[in-house]
Amino acid sequence: MTKYIRIKSGEASFQLVERFDEVEKAADPNAQGELVECKVSGIKLDFTKVKKEKDGRVKDSPSKVQGSSTEETREVPGSQKESR
């Protein structure tokens, strides 16, 4: 069964509330505390993309795996130097 993925891209504002045990940790912008709440607002969608999901199946074609018998190898003029 074929599945599809929808990706919505855009902008939004958020407010993230965290809880800390110490004021020093809370003041450090790189510290991560216990997540209390996250509010998202002002969502503005720019565009939406729909893609076919890869199902992980392998499709082996003998002509693709081993090289097609109808393919020809062509020499490009000037691709090799002439030996003197």
Predicted confidence (pLDDT) at residue 13 exceeds the cutoff of 50: yes
What would the pLDDT profile of 26-67 be if each residue is shown by its tens digit? 999 999 999 999 999 999 999 999 999 887 666 665 555 555
Residue 38's domain comprises 4-53
User: Tokens 């998202």, residue?
Assistant: 40
> CA-based angle 56:59:64, to the nearest 5?
135
Whether 68 is covered by a domain: the verdict is no
- Number of structural domains in the chain: 1
Q: Would 9 be classed as within a structural domain? A: yes
pTM here is: 0.46
Q: Does residue 39 lie in a domain region?
A: yes
Is 36 a member of any domain? Answer: yes
- The percent of the chain in helix, strand and coil, each rounded to the nearest 5, is 10, 40, 45
Q: Does a structural domain hold residue 66?
A: no
**Position 17 in a domain:** yes
